[in-house]
Structure 1
């Protein structure tokens, strides 16, 4: 139960809110609010105490019920199941053949199968500010990842209403997948069923980057349009207003299940149900009362909703719009109303977006003004109409599908091109507490002043206050005296990020990379994990970094340079540093070619060179004379960072080490990045004795096939009482320093390996 604590921001606003209620209204209101908070805390702790597993780690076999639509992507299958004890598990399975894949596609929600495999504890994030998948599963009452070895004896399970609805949902998703083009099916599934697994990843990232990703999720806008359309249809068919409301009260819970039950759908549907119930019983409540009641009920049912980004955004934006409705309705111009609605939504969502995603789009406001009506008037109605008609008749429906596909194709191109314009997005990093507090205060002042006097003149001072806040936020790095060295956990590979104090330089040594093997067409996956896009770039964005003053590539092995092209295309790289003899294959040639086209300065270095960045210097200790080995010709860097001497060795092996020791007989270091991931072909006794490091860092993949680091190397280091940090056991390794003193941290923070 240690997860829940009052974050400083929540403590500040809760206290302020209670004081405001006490002074502005009656003390009983503040007392009632305090009681509500205590009820929530009690509910949370009770839920947390019962959110425990009954299973044990290791081998497990059982007849389980498939509780969600299995997702099959290439040769990979995943989903959730429920055991006979009622406990949910998330599972993954590597499909072995095309025949097996076709059989697995027949599995449906509600089926019972025998699953055999191994239960593993979900891993915590291994990088700072990374998505906490383990906590996410915990909040969904899931405590194990089930690595499946075999699936057999599948048959239909017992009938129940929930399973029936889930099967109808699956049929709808399958229909869209079969009838709509691949570039359109993901959007239509997202809009109609809240399912985003088939969305083109590049398109989804572009929508998110531009601040319009909410259009791809079922929200109050979608629910309102669907309910309004259904209500109008019922009235047209001669059903009375009261009976129409009663029908929709019954249908909306079904709709919530069919669309996956996301917080925004539940919130919007629940609010509509309450409005209709009040209409039937002839009671009147304000919109703010209704939204507050739905929020409290949902948190009482599931207190974990409070920590979900979708829940937070849905309620804060909806509440902001409701509180601004008086001002919005004062203007007769549709354009002005749309401008105010979009602005209010942007201002309300901003602190949450920055806190969770670390960047803001400068063109989000105009794009929302264009795309919200575009999706409301065109895309959503056309998607519904095309899906409904094509389900009855392909002949009649396919022309609509084609029209929708053409429109979406052009809109996707526009979005992708807009997202690629670098100056339209500002990356702030995770904002500090003072920024969130003052942003919220300034925004509230802006809203109050505009409500009192709805003119542009009334917004001048608070708007200038917001600009000042962002100016300070973007320039914090220039007054920050702290620097860092981050050994990024890239699995079996190397990637080390260095950030100098006062924004004097950002450098990345190697990029990591995944080995690829020949695959058949059926094995190819739609969504492929990328170290750069899923680990490195999100981490850099979380600390406000989008520019690299130097990208150092030690040598041409894929596990060191495999992500270089993505990083060069996604980040502003000023200089590419490579060793002489670097180009020995197609990938190395392509990297240099792309860097040249992008006008990135390319420096080819060898032993004896010095690279000076303001008052910070890298010394190049290798390569000197070239050999036939990429590893032996790795670029080796020496730098003094945070009061420590660091030696970055790439994959340098013993022959290269001997050359270095001969050329630099008096070399001593404090931190040694162990060569070649701890292979026995590197890190000789002579090297360790001559360098005499106090700290060794090993970058290797967890349970890698090469069994790095080798026992012989570990024994050498232990025998000399050298402190060891390993990415395979301790995740990302961070050294934060100020001046000549610093501290090492690990993520997750396990004890130092001895």
Structure 2
């Protein structure tokens, strides 16, 4: 019986070998790929667990003794190599010291050029360090930037100041510094004058980069802006022309894979290309295959060189070579070998989200090939593929974006076939006809706009009325281990048509997601977080068991025209933090006063989150635009006065000020007192010393533990008299790094030190979080800080 089981296992691989070829790991290359993946964690527990699993497979005769030894040996080799790599990697090494001087080196990346800037990676000869160079164009002049000769492989001299990239200063915020580190980039340099850059020479593949630039420019000139933006994204891998609104809608509905060139795009292009060459008898099959083997790597470079493009191109080339050499490997083996080749060439690829998504989806579909190859209807197959893809990348998606959109599976059912059968083929033919038959390309251009615009508008309508995301927040790895285990068992039993077990593990998968959604409501911890929003204020209070969420102020910035409000702070700081905490509902949005550095993000919060009410003083006046947004969203406004008390469950917020209209927004700042985690908190907005004196007279016995320093540490407030009266132990200062106002004032810092008050400030420490349980809590800073 055991012998029969063993025989069936090997027959499933459907592999044949050339005589004399190695049979050791054939059919099990995916285990070597997993070995590398496991080794990349470099934790003893995970690696020991994997070794135990391999030994278990051997004991059950699923792999041979030699295969077991090779897999465990490869794990040890990968682990040793990665440990050595990490010690030398810039990701884990301290940042080198930047300097300002003439930098000499070589351009080591493709050059990205837009209407406003030119960007590339530059490797310095002296230090061997990489720098991200950004040249901002002078849009008010007709300067010719092509004269600088910026090409891949060019030798350059750059005059500029190296700067260390900005790290993440808030939980959930995108970490640009780590992003560049993963690409081996240590510094960035900003150039505003093209005279500070001088380059000469190029590399052998510069012609491909120039060809790509030429294609992008040509499509922009020969086609409408609308069509060229989609063609450039889907054929040439440049999505700069796609509107930010569209990109974000595609992200919300898990359609981003349609905007990135991947196996779907390459497969369609190869299929069309092969059909035209062979069916039209332009070339024989063998010559067409040879041409594809030659052109696909070239296309990968021209299409931008994204990991998904290389993965799909190399897979196709590999299969064509196997056919020519009359070799056979399982598809799983091929993708595993390509995975290993890419990560061994560049280990940093493993940290790139596009690389992770591409291989995860491909592996999931390959391992479920028996399920999706059953003789069911096409719509059932498409639905199955959509579900498998969504479930397989769900841990990656939540880890990156903190939410899932349950309805995205059904939207994918509509838009994946639409892109597969119309959008991508039409863009490829438009690209060809732009050079072979320009009049025909313009006909397709008009047809594409006529069809695509209303279908894209439909997606926007769906996004507006049916977008109900499940925001789960940051999830610990343990829960993803449980999820992956249930997902594996779900897929295994689905493959074997064991409907009862499929239902069981499907319910368990659902239960895991429901548990993650309700987990905050079971957590006895609460927190107060002062976000680093630059020169402004924004605090988030989370009550234990998720009994209440309060946001105190929501700073914003202005756009380049200094007139239009910008959503930058909301998108980059406030929203990521709220999503990372699994927050979709705000019980009270408390606004101290109507200055942009305190309320600039309010319209964006109100439009995207479920805000129950807004609390302001009686002397607060909204702008007409904000009032219109509040009315559209039917959000009630509670106007409070000194002496009022806001009760929310067991939480009390006592309003201390203002008691009359002082005429200015700062003097009319809402001042309130509350107790959280065993500490007494006083929030002061932007009041000055005069208002502090009024509070002293009105509340002669008030004492606090935590004082929010008024007006970002300006010397117009936080008087010695006020500090003596309130006697705080901790001072919170929300202030922008190197701000033009000189906040916080050195006078205020010295005064706080004189009173032995612990100072916590966002410009140095990033976000500050007080996490508590009952009446005991601890302060944490997002950035390490040695006071």
User: Structure 1-normalised TM-score?
Assistant: 0.92
**Number of equivalences:** 740
Residue of structure 2 in register with 1:699 after alignment = 734
Q: Once structures 1 and 2 are overlaid, which stretch shifts more, 669-678 or 230-239?
A: 230-239
Partner Cα separation in structure 2 for residue 97 and residue 474 of structure 1: 48
Q: Say whether the 8 Å CA contact 2:156–2:200 is kept in structure 1.
A: no
Instruction: Report SS of the residue matched to 1:218.
Output: coil
> Aligned-pair distance for 1:13?
6.5
Q: Given the alignment, which residue of 110, 121, 134 partners 1:68? A: 110
**Aligned partner (choices 304, 311, 314) of residue 348 of structure 2:** 304
Q: Does the 8 Å CA contact 2:158/2:197 hold for their aligned counterparts? A: no
Matched, 1:480 2:523: yes
Q: Quote the Cα distance in structure 2 between the aligned partners of 1:435 and 1:610.
A: 41
- The residue aligned with 1:98 is 140
For 2:559 and 2:383, how far apart are their aligned partners in 1?
A: 49
* Structure 1 residues 334-483: aligned runs within 5 Å: 334-392=378-436, 394-421=438-465, 424-453=468-497, 459-483=502-526
Decide whether the 8 Å contact of 1:493 with 1:513 is kept in 2.
Answer: yes
- 1:112 offset after TM fit, Å? 5.6
- SS state at 1:652 partner: coil
1:88 — aligned with what?
130
Does the C-alpha gap of structure 1 residues 393 and 153 become closer, same or farther in structure 2, counting only changes over 3 Å? farther
Mapped pair 1:160 → 2:196: no
C-alpha distance in 1, partners of 2:690/2:768? 28
Query: In structure 2, what is the equivalent of residue 289 of structure 1?
Result: 333
CA deviations on 1:425-462 (whole Å, 9 max, x unpaired) are 211112233421221111111111111117x5552211
Measure, in 1, the Cα distance between the counterparts of 2:576 and 2:124.
Answer: 35
**Quick one: structure 1 residues 377 and 9, their matched pair in 2 at CA, closer, same or farther if it must change by over 3 Å?**
farther
The residue that corresponds to 2:770 in the other structure is: 735
Name the structure 2 match of 1:619.
654
Q: Cα–Cα, structure 1 residues 251 and 49, in superposed 2: closer, same or farther, change >3 Å?
A: farther
Following the alignment from structure 1 to structure 2, what is the Cα–Cα distance between the partners of residues 101 and 638? 58
Q: Is 1:631–2:674 an aligned residue pair? A: no
In structure 2, C-alpha distance between the alignment counterparts of 1:529 and 1:628, rounded to whole Å: 29
Distance 2:255 2:88 in 1: 38
Cα RMSD (Å) of the superposition? Answer: 2.6
Secondary structure of the 2:638 match is strand
SS of equivalent to 2:404: strand
The runs of 5 or more residues in structure 2 that have no matched partner are: 1-38
Q: Match for residue 57 of structure 2?
A: 21
Give the superposition deviation at 1:225: 1.1
- Shift, 1:198, TM fit: 2.7
Structure 1 residue 543 corresponds to structure 2 residue 578: no
Q: Hey, what does 1:512 align to over in structure 2?
A: 555
Counterpart secondary structure, 1:669 = coil
More divergent stretch after superposition (317-326 vs 701-710): 317-326
Greater shift, 26-35 or 490-499, is seen at 26-35
CA-CA distance at 1:49 after TM superposition: 4.6
Distance 2:342 2:448 in 1: 36
Is contact 1:654–1:684 with CA below 8 Å preserved after alignment?
A: yes
Aligned with residue 35 of structure 1, among 70, 73, 76:
73
Q: In the alignment, which residue of structure 1 is the partner of 2:287?
A: 243
Aligned-partner Cα distance in 1 for 2:81–2:112: 32
Measured against aligned partners, the alpha-carbon deviations of 1:196-230 in whole angstroms (never above 9, x if no partner) come to 23321111111111111111111111111111222
Give the 3 Å change call, closer, same or farther, for CA 263–598 of structure 1 in structure 2.
same
Query: In 2 relative to 1, CA 368–171 (structure 1 residues): closer, same or farther, beyond 3 Å?
Result: same
For the residues of structure 2 that align with 1:193 and 1:434, how far apart are their CA atoms?
A: 40
CA contact (8 A) 2:706 2:728 kept: yes
Q: 1:632 to 1:37 in 2, by over 3 A?
A: same
Check if 1:126 corresponds to 2:169: yes
Paired residues for 1:655-666 under 5 Å: 655-666=690-701
Instruction: State which drifts further: 498-507 or 297-306.
Output: 297-306
Q: Which moved more, 1:570-579 or 1:93-102?
A: 93-102
Separation in 2 of the partners of 1:196 and 1:343? 26
Shift of 1:37: 2.4
- Superposition deviation, residue 47 in structure 1: 3.8
Instruction: Determine the C-alpha separation between the residues in 1 that align with 2:301 and 2:567.
Output: 30
Q: Is the 8 A contact 2:149 2:200 kept in 1?
A: no
Query: Is the 8 Å Cα contact of residues 507 and 551 (structure 1) preserved in structure 2?
Result: yes
How far residue 181 of structure 1 moved from its aligned partner, in angstroms, is: 4.1
Are 2:104 and 2:156, in contact at CA under 8 Å, matched by a contact in 1? yes
What does residue 680 of structure 2 align with?
645
* Alpha-carbon contact 1:122-1:144 (below 8 Å) kept: yes
SS of 1:704's equivalent in the other structure is coil
Distance 1:73 1:713, change over 3 A: farther
Alpha carbons of structure 1 residues 606 and 186: separation in structure 2 relative to 1, 3 Å: farther
Q: Distance in 2 between matches of 1:30 and 1:635?
A: 68
Counterpart contact for 1:117–1:150, Cα < 8 Å: no
Deviation of 1:631 (Å):
0.5
C-alpha distance in 2, partners of 1:200/1:402? 19
Distance 2:492 2:387 in 1: 14
Length-normalised TM-score, structure 2: 0.89
Mapped to 1, the partners of 2:522 and 2:766 lie a distance apart of: 29
- Aligned residue in 1 for 2:35: none
The structure-2 alpha-carbon separation of the partners of 1:564 and 1:689, relative to structure 1 and needing over 3 Å to count, comes to same
CA contact (8 A) 1:112 1:154 kept: no
Give 3-state SS (helix, strand or coil) of 2:441's partner: helix
Task: Measure the CA separation in 2 of the matches of 1:95 and 1:631.
Answer: 39
| CA apart distance, 1:244 | 2.1
Instruction: Compute the displacement of 1:147 (Å).
Output: 2.9
**Aligned-partner SS, 2:211:** helix
**Pairwise CA distance, 1:132:** 2.3
Q: How much does 1:183 deviate?
A: 4.3
| 1:265 aligned residue | 309
Does the aligned pair in 1 maintain the 2:732–2:760 contact within 8 Å? yes
Q: Which moved more, 1:553-562 or 1:181-190?
A: 181-190
Check if 1:676 corresponds to 2:711: yes
Q: Deviations over 1:353-398 (max 9, x none)?
A: 1222211111121122211111111000111111222245544322
**1:502: which partner in 2?**
545
| Distance 1:604-1:341 versus aligned 2 partners, 3 A rule | same
**Do 2:105 and 2:122's aligned partners in 1 also have CA atoms closer than 8 Å?**
yes
C-alpha separation in 2, matches of 1:56 and 1:79: 21
Gaps of 5+ in 1: none
Q: Which residue of 2 aligns with 1:556?
A: 594
Distance 1:243 1:394, change over 3 A: closer
SS of equivalent residue, structure 2 residue 200:
coil
Asked whether the equivalents of residues 43 and 303 of structure 1 are also in contact (C-alpha less than 8 Å), the reply is: no
Between the aligned partners of 1:375 and 1:195, the Cα distance in structure 2 is 17
TM-aligned CA distance change 1:472 to 1:519, over 3 Å: closer
Q: Structure 1's 423 and 397: CA in aligned 2 closer, same or farther, altered over 3 A? A: closer
SS for the counterpart of 1:700 is coil
Helix, strand or coil at the partner of 2:201: coil
Pairing of 1:143-182 with structure 2 (within 5 A) = 143-148=186-191, 150-152=193-195, 157-182=200-225
